[in-house]
């Protein structure tokens, strides 16, 4: 019925329903019988009044006769006779078939016909006597007065009907009283029966309720014991959180061990975890739990946001002792009436699993790194690899010397950082050009540390401790590469260096250093979604001294990186500008008669934007906005060689730190060289380097000197 499953409460519900039904039935009968008794009480009063009206009517007929014989006015007696006659007649008709009459206070009242055979027979007899009597009275009333003869005839009729009518009205009154008494007796019987049934039903309800209560107590005790057994034996930390994130009174025994505390029930979950997690994690946890407690938020959508999926905590083990553990908390909603009332939380100590996973991952990373390192080494010529490793070791040793000199100093100047930065960036560029991604990544992490130091206003020798640690790691990494090269040499049986080729060899495009430059340019272009072609003309660099050869190689690598990051546009942009989809890089190296070397590097990219360089200088704090606006284009362009200044807004391994061209300038100055720049926005950028026998000078030439430079070339 109504689709409600009453279950174990069925008997109690039915008993209560019957109890209410009995009470309702008694109330209805009480109301009905009480209404009948009230109606009978009115009838008793009206029947008594009928007796009085018969006497009054008879009396008025006698008075009317006396007035007629005396010949005096009859208006008062006639008016009273009309009232008594009319009231008796209406009341008699109402008793017979129901209708309206006047109550004792003269107000209109409607009564029902007397529903009793005996009473109706009494009324029928009264009607037989009343109708002739009524006709006589009506005739007198219609004439408006009574003559002595009419009054005498009316008195004769009244004498004949008065006593019988009086007796019948007495009988009617008695019968109506008997009917009222019988209904009162019935009402008492109904009340007694109703109370008896209600009492019996209450006893049944009480019996079933007590029996059900005992059964429920037994079930609850059994369920409590089962719950206690589960909470005592489970290895998971289980507990409930209410809407205020307060832990419930019941929780598993393992929870105390997992959380490292014994007093848990009634405490705030946030208070318990706050000493073990960061403020940010705590705030995120509050937001996550608030989301879970909202019934309109889908649990699957927020499950991945759990900030306590794996959290490292410090558990006190004794005075001054703490143990680092990894805990995992899982949250599941508890619904009631379609709304979230609680969260079932599972807490596990996953320290062993996390450590095993990390050890496994570290082993995999080591194996992968060793395999990747071996693959990288195999792709580089042994002589070139040895040359790079020697250059890298020399650079790191130079950095070590810088660090030792600054180790005890209270304040360290920014030039020390810039010098270390230039060496690091040069080695990184050379490593990336050879495809040694692991070494380039390690050097990039050193650049990150140096960037943080560069941003500090004041530095001391102690601030360089992280740099020292990282440089030590790089030494170890290069030593591992030396060992790997040695193992590869054993496999190959010999490490050979390709013999020098004659200058201006027609097959110069196939020279190893040219091939490395092309591979490096192609790889960078792919990473930045560009296309590029690199062409080389000039001497074979193997004919140059090793130190000069390494410096030129580093400078070309930096120029290639600078060109792909800042110069060469993407394919769509180049098409819009009427250029070939693939960018063009031209490298030319030539020997001069004075023993020096000229290096030319040109790309057909977007050139140098003076406005971007000016903005970068202001952003980096090198110039104020007023100073930058007042400075001419030549001096602005020269700022691209300043350490830490870059027009690129984002930073990655290929650019954005302002270190590439700074390292080029440092190498040129070491070689006593000169730099000239030619650039047209949207068309090309051209670097010309004169190395070797020229005096140590670094200067830049902007667009207004470009044509003179082209003529000099």
List, as one string, the DSSP characters of 593-654.
Answer: TTS-EEEEEEE-S----HHHHHHHHHHTTSS-HHHHHHS-HHHHHHGGGSTT--S-SS-BTT
Pairing of strands 311-318, 247-251: unpaired
In the predicted model, is pLDDT for residue 40 greater than 70? yes
Count of domains observed in the chain? 4
Considering the domain architecture, whether residues 49 and 178 belong to the same structural domain is answered as: yes
Task: Tell me whether residue 211 is in a domain.
Answer: no
Average pLDDT of 297-313? 77
pLDDT score recorded for residue 293: 82
What percentage of the chain exceeds 90 in pLDDT?
7
Average pLDDT of 187-212? 78
Cβ–Cβ contacts within 10 Å for residue 11, how many?
Answer: 16
Residue 61: band (very low, low, confident or very high) from pLDDT cuts 50, 70, 90:
confident
d(CA 502, CA 531): 32
* Domain containing residue 107: CATH number: 1.20.120.240
- Which of these ranges, 366-380, 529-543, 661-675, has the smallest mean pLDDT? 366-380
In the predicted model, is pLDDT for residue 286 greater than 90? no
Considering the domain architecture, whether residues 485 and 512 belong to the same structural domain is answered as: no
pLDDT score recorded for residue 471: 83
Structural tokens at position 51: 């007796």
* Domain containing residue 259: CATH number: 3.30.450.20
Average pLDDT of 47-68? 85
Considering the domain architecture, whether residues 275 and 128 belong to the same structural domain is answered as: no
Considering the domain architecture, whether residues 561 and 704 belong to the same structural domain is answered as: yes
Task: Tell me whether residue 133 is in a domain.
Answer: yes
Task: Tell me whether residue 228 is in a domain.
Answer: no
Considering the domain architecture, whether residues 553 and 693 belong to the same structural domain is answered as: yes
Cβ–Cβ contacts within 10 Å for residue 515, how many?
Answer: 14
Q: Model confidence over 463-516: pLDDT tens digits? A: 777 888 888 888 888 877 766 776 666 455 433 333 333 444 556 667 888 889
Helix axes 148-233, 10-70, angle to 10 degrees: 170
Average pLDDT of 637-662? 78
Q: Model confidence over 423-445: pLDDT tens digits? A: 888 888 888 877 787 788 888 88
Considering the domain architecture, whether residues 475 and 530 belong to the same structural domain is answered as: no
Average pLDDT of 326-331? 84
Residues in the chain, total: 713
d(CA 645, CA 660): 10
In the predicted model, is pLDDT for residue 2 greater than 60? no
pLDDT score recorded for residue 192: 81
Task: Tell me whether residue 356 is in a domain.
Answer: no
Nearest to 433 by CA among 541, 517, 373, 375: 517
In the predicted model, is pLDDT for residue 656 greater than 90? no
pLDDT score recorded for residue 99: 85
Task: Tell which wins on pLDDT, 564 or 274.
Answer: 564
In the predicted model, is pLDDT for residue 311 greater than 50? yes
* Domain containing residue 696: CATH number: 3.30.565.10
Considering the domain architecture, whether residues 177 and 292 belong to the same structural domain is answered as: no
Query: Domain boundary at 181, 203, 225, which?
Result: 203
Task: Spell out the residues 6+ positions from residue 252 whose beta carbon is closer than 8 angstroms to its own.
Answer: 230, 231, 232, 234, 236, 237, 238, 239
Task: Tell me whether residue 357 is in a domain.
Answer: no
Considering the domain architecture, whether residues 517 and 459 belong to the same structural domain is answered as: no
pLDDT score recorded for residue 599: 93
Considering the domain architecture, whether residues 687 and 604 belong to the same structural domain is answered as: yes
Task: Tell which wins on pLDDT, 308 or 104.
Answer: 308
Considering the domain architecture, whether residues 330 and 367 belong to the same structural domain is answered as: no
The strand order across the sheet containing 339-349 reads: 247-251, 237-241, 339-349, 321-336, 311-318
DSSP-derived letter for residue 188 is: H
Q: Strands (DSSP E) along 98-223, which ranges?
A: 99-102, 108-111
Task: Tell me whether residue 208 is in a domain.
Answer: no
In the predicted model, is pLDDT for residue 688 greater than 90? yes
Query: Domain boundary at 144, 177, 203, which?
Result: 203
Cβ 699 vs Cβ 594: under 8 Å: no
pLDDT score recorded for residue 74: 79
Q: The domain containing residue 467 runs over which residues?
A: 362-492
Average pLDDT of 172-191? 84
d(CA 248, CA 109): 70
Cβ–Cβ contacts within 10 Å for residue 578, how many?
Answer: 6
Distance of CA 668 to the CA centre of its chain: 57
pLDDT score recorded for residue 584: 93
Task: Tell me whether residue 342 is in a domain.
Answer: yes
Q: Model confidence over 105-131: pLDDT tens digits? A: 778 888 888 888 998 899 899 888 888
Average pLDDT of 53-78? 84
* Domain containing residue 456: CATH number: 1.20.120.160
Alpha-carbon Rg of the chain, whole angstroms? 59
Residue 103: band (very low, low, confident or very high) from pLDDT cuts 50, 70, 90:
confident
Considering the domain architecture, whether residues 306 and 396 belong to the same structural domain is answered as: no
Considering the domain architecture, whether residues 108 and 161 belong to the same structural domain is answered as: yes
Residue 274: band (very low, low, confident or very high) from pLDDT cuts 50, 70, 90:
confident
What percentage of the chain exceeds 70 in pLDDT?
86
d(CA 37, CA 184): 7
Residue 351: band (very low, low, confident or very high) from pLDDT cuts 50, 70, 90:
confident
Task: Tell me whether residue 682 is in a domain.
Answer: yes
Helix (H) or strand (E) holding 276: none
In the predicted model, is pLDDT for residue 551 greater than 60? yes
The C-alpha torsion from 409 through 415 and 417 to 420, rounded to 10°, is -110
């Amino acid at each position: 019925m109504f689709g409600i499953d009453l279950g174990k409460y069925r008997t109690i519900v039915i008993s209560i329903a019957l109890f209410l039904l009995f009470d309702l039935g008694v109330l209805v009968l009480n109301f009905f019988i009480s209404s009948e008794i009230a109606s009978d009480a009115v009838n008793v009063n009206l029947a008594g009044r009928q007796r009085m009206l018969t006497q009054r009517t008879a009396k008025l007929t006698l008075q009317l006769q006396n007035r007629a014989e005396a010949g005096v006015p009859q208006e008062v007696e006639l008016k009273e006779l009309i009232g008594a006659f009319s009231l008796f007649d209406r009341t008699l008709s109402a008793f017979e078939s129901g209708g309206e009459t006047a109550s004792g206070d003269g107000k209109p009242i409607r009564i029902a016909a007397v529903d009793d055979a005996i009473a109706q027979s009494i009324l029928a007899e009264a009607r037989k006597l009343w109708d002739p009597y009524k006709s006589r009275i009506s005739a007198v009333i219609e004439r408006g007065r009574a003559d002595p003869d009419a009054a005498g005839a009316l008195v004769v009729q009244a004498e004949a009907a008065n006593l019988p009518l009086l007796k019948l009205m007495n009988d009617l009154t008695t019968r109506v009283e008997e009917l009222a008494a019988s209904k009162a007796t019935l009402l008492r019987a109904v009340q007694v029966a109703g109370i008896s049934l209600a009492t019996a039903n209450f006893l049944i309800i009480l019996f079933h309720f007590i029996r059900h209560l005992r059964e429920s107590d037994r079930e609850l005790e059994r369920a409590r014991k089962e719950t206690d057994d589960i909470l005592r034996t489970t290895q998971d930390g289980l507990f409930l959180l209410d809407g205020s994130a307060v832990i419930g009174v019941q929780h598993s025994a393992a929870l105390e061990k997992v959380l490292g505390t014994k007093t848990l029930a009634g405490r705030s979950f946030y208070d318990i975890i706050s000493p073990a997690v960061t403020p940010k994690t705590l705030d995120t946890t509050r937001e996550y739990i608030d989301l879970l407690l909202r019934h309109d938020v889908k649990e699957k959508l927020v499950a991945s946001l759990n900030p306590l999926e794996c959290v490292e905590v410090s558990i006190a083990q004794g005075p001054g002792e703490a143990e680092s553990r990894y805990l995992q908390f899982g949250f599941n909603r508890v619904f009631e009436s379609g709304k979230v009332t609680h969260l079932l939380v599972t807490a596990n100590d996953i320290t062993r699993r996390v450590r095993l996973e990390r050890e496994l991952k570290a082993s995999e990373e080591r194996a992968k790194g060793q395999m990747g390192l071996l693959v990288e080494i195999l792709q580089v010529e042994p002589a070139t690899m040895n040359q790079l490793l020697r250059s890298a070791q020399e650079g790191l040793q130079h950095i070590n010397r810088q660090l030792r000199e600054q180790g005890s100093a209270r304040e360290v100047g920014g030039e020390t950082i810039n010098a270390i930065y230039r060496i690091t960036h040069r080695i990184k560029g050379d490593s990336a050009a050879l495809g040694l991604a692991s070494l380039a990544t390690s050097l990039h992490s050193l650049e990150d540390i140096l960037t943080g130091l560069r941003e500090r206003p004041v530095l001391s020798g102690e601030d360089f401790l992280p740099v020292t640690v990282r440089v030590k790691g790089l030494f170890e990494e290069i030593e591992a590469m030396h060992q790997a090269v040695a193992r590869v040499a054993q496999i190959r049986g010999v490490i050979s260096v390709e013999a020098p080729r004659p200058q201006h060899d027609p097959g110069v495009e196939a020279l190893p250093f040219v091939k490395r430059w092309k591979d490096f340019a192609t790889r960078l272009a792919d990473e930045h979604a560009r296309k590029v072609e690199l062409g080389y003309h000039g001497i074979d660099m193997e004919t140059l001294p090793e130190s000069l050869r390494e410096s030129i190689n580093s400078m070309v690598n930096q120029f290639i990186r600078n060109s792909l990051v800042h110069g060469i546009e993407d394919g769509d942009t180049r098409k819009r500008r009427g250029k070939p989809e693939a960018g063009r890089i031209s490298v030319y190296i030539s020997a001069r008669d004075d023993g020096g070397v000229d290096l030319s590097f040109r790309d057909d990219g977007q050139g140098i934007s003076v406005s971007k360089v000016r903005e970068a200088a202001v952003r980096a704090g090198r110039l104020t906005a007023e100073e930058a606006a007042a400075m001419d284009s030549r001096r602005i362009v020269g700022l691209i060689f300043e350490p830490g200044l870059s027009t690129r807004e984002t930073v990655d391994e290929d650019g954005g730190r302002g270190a590439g061209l700074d390292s080029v300038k440092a190498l040129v100055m070491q070689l006593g060289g000169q730099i000239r720049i030619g650039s047209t926005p949207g068309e090309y950028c051209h670097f010309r380097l004169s190395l070797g026998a020229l005096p140590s000078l670094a200067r830049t030439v902007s667009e207004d000197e470009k044509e003179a430079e082209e003529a000099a070339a």
